[in-house]
Amino acid sequence: MLQQSGDASLLRRLNSAAILRLLRDAEVLTLSELARGARVSRPTVEAIVEELVSEGWAEECPDEPGDRPRGRPARRFRFRASAGHVVGVSIGHTSVQAMVADLNGAIVAVQAIPISPDVCAADRLAAVGDLVTAVTAQAGLAVHEVAAVGVGTTGVVDGDGRVVKSVVLSDWTGVPLQAELAARLPVPVVVVENDMRLAVIAEHWRGVAQGYDDVVYLYTGTRLGLGLLIGGVPYRGAHAASGEIGKMPTGTWAAFKEVTDYAMSVEPGELRSPMESARFAIERARQGDAEASDAVRAFGVGLGESLITIVNPLDPELVVIGGSLSPAGDLLVGPVKEVFDEICLYPPLVVASELGSESITLGAVRLALNHIDKALFS
């Protein structure tokens, strides 16, 4: 009898998870539609839905004026996305950003703070904790009300959320990031992942890579990074180092030479990083400067040639240019595509990201939601 009771309890939990998932995936469903979708009896559905409503996971929809049919209207229900919230955090080279989202992924609060790449690990961790507290307060929540925090960081991140190696941030190598933040934040769970893998997850979830399972994502910012999606799964690599380009032999990609030379020729006394030079040239090209246009085109060709050794053997469907240079759009997409069309056996589609520099934080939100989904629907 005890075993039978256990089986009944398990079946009830499975049915509850199935019904909750149906509500999550649809805007509104009636009891009859839930019964058909979950393949259980209507009385079972009714009992489970009442339980979900009492626990706050579902809510009954009010009748819409003018739409009421004759007779007793069918009761309609929907998933209550505000039943829980998650926080996504991106720890970058010069800033930290955080977003609060409900269980449907709707963003309800965003904050970012600048931070020096040279600050010590303790100060960076404190800044992350303070930012999470601030952004949750902006959303009208206390930190302990958050269901999960997802974190994206530059560097090689192992399965325990430890930064094994970082060539971008000082004093970051060896930091047990997941454990440190779990100790500082009163939340049930903290999950940590490499930022480039989160960026490509975000593009697959909410960006231009929706519907594509084999994707190469090029991040352009204060540094360059790569995210690889293979068969719909972010590729980690043998040492979880996928996405980290590391230091180039010349200090930066040769593709930046033309835009750097252009910026120096226009304003010789202005010292700019390679990425700042690229932004400067792109802005001038938008204004109609022919020399800037030539420099940006050469930059795009250089990016395409640099990506060939990745694109040719991987044979992706899509290449996404993301990060802070993604607003350049066709100024970069066109030259990169021309290189692929000339060299690749099967040239992939090339597009600019519409998520820009927020892709990592959105990916961290999705990381946290994935953890919650496992608890709700498994």
Percentage of the chain surpassing pLDDT 90?
A: 76
Alpha-carbon separation of residue 207 from 204, 243, 324 (angstroms)? 6, 18, 15
Could you tell me whether strands 215-220 and 318-323 are parallel, antiparallel, or unpaired per DSSP bridges?
A: parallel
Q: Indicate the SS3 state at residue 226.
A: strand
How far is the CA of 50 from the CAs of 42, 43, 53, 54, 59, in angstroms? 12, 11, 5, 6, 9
Tokens 């955080």 found at: 98
Q: Residue 11: its pLDDT value, please?
A: 84
Using H for helix, E for strand and C for coil, what is the string for 325-340? Answer: CHHHCHHHHHHHHHHH
- 96: nearest Cα among 167, 200, 172, 38: 172
What is the predicted pLDDT for the residue at 56? 92
Helix (H, G, I), strand (E, B) or coil at 315: coil
The top-scoring range by mean pLDDT among 135-144, 260-269, 369-378 is: 135-144
**Rounded distance between C-alpha atoms, residue 230 and residue 35, angstroms:** 36
- CA angle 11/13/18 to nearest 5° reads 95
pLDDT digits (tens, 9 = 90+) for 238-296: 888 876 665 554 445 678 899 999 999 999 988 898 889 999 999 999 999 999 999 99
69 falls in which pLDDT band (50, 70, 90)?
low
Give the residue-averaged pLDDT of 297-325.
Answer: 94
The C-alpha atoms of residue 76 and residue 28 are separated, in whole angstroms, by 6
**Alpha-carbon separation of residue 316 from 209, 236, 319 (angstroms):** 11, 16, 7
- Amino acid identity, position 213: D
CATH architecture of 2-82: Orthogonal Bundle (1.10)
**Does the pLDDT at position 53 exceed 90?**
yes
Question: Among 74-88, 170-184, 213-227, which is the least confidently predicted range?
Answer: 213-227
* Spatial separation of the C-alpha atoms in residues 59 and 195, rounded to whole Å: 36
User: Under CATH, what is the fold of the domain 84-199+360-377?
Assistant: Nucleotidyltransferase; domain 5 (3.30.420)
pLDDT value at residue 372: 93
Three-state SS at 319:
strand
Give Cβ neighbours of residue 9 (< 8 Å, ≥ 6 apart).
none
Q: What is the pLDDT of residue 346?
A: 95
Q: What are the sequence ranges of the domains in the chain?
A: 2-82, 84-199+360-377, 210-354
When comparing pLDDT for 158 and 250, which is higher?
Answer: 158
User: Which DSSP symbol is given to 104?
Assistant: T
pLDDT at 64 over 70: no
- Cβ(105)–Cβ(369) below 8 Å: yes
pTM of the model: 0.89
Confirm whether 2-82 and 84-199+360-377 share one CATH topology.
no
Helices 257-266 & 274-286 angle (0-180, nearest 10): 70
Q: In which band, very low, low, confident or very high, does the pLDDT at 237 lie, cut at 50, 70 and 90?
A: confident
Question: Among the listed ranges 70-79, 187-196, 362-371, which one has the minimum average pLDDT value?
Answer: 70-79
The domain covering 210-354 belongs, at the CATH homologous superfamily level, to ATPase, nucleotide binding domain (3.30.420.40)
Q: Residue 19's pLDDT band (boundaries 50, 70, 90)?
A: very high
